Amino acid sequence: MVVIGSDIDEENQESEPMISSEESREEEEDEEVQEEVWWGWLVVLASSLCNMVIDGMGYSFGVLLEPMRDEFNSGEGKMTFVGSILTGVTTMLSAPVASALVNRFGTRITCIIGSFISAAAMLTSSFSSSLTILMITNGIFGRFGLGIMY
């Protein structure tokens, strides 16, 4: 029920309409719903980009296999081992750590921590001079960060 009345200012003798608090609450709720819709789409975009990076790094390793094999003068078996570390690190190493981080800090902070770990690992792996360093930086630390984000 909306109650509209008038409040008379004694000095100016002007009347100002008064709106009950119910109507102002409805306006505030409408604004909150509009903000929630906007925030929801932002979360959808961020999670889509997150999954695109994680799955893109994991499933497109075969594209990089030939240039990396030429760069490191290595056999195909050793090079595929760098990419195959993804499954073991993502499921066995990072899942328990990620669940502990989510319980302690929440999903947003955990995803941010994982993104910083994987970004630092991918940056350092771009400067790796040997296959062993590439396995450690890209294979273990990079996939560990991606697993925390996942």
Confidence check: pLDDT of 119 > 80: yes
pTM as predicted: 0.68
Q: How confident is the model at residue 32 (pLDDT cuts 50, 70, 90)?
A: low
What is the reported pLDDT for 98? 92
What is the reported pLDDT for 102? 94
CB count within 10 Å of CB 95 equals 14
What is the reported pLDDT for 87? 72
Q: How confident is the model at residue 53 (pLDDT cuts 50, 70, 90)?
A: confident
* C-alpha–C-alpha distance, residues 122 and 134, integer Å: 9
* C-alpha–C-alpha distance, residues 146 and 143, integer Å: 5
CA 123 to chain centre: 18
CA angle 146, 148, 150 (to 5 degrees): 70
Q: How confident is the model at residue 109 (pLDDT cuts 50, 70, 90)?
A: very high
* C-alpha–C-alpha distance, residues 137 and 125, integer Å: 5
Most confident of 18-22, 84-88, 129-133: 129-133
Counting Cα atoms < 13 Å in the Cβ hemisphere of 82 gives 28
**What is the pLDDT averaged over residues 108-136?**
91
Pull the structure tokens for residue 80: 């595929």
3 state SS of 14: coil
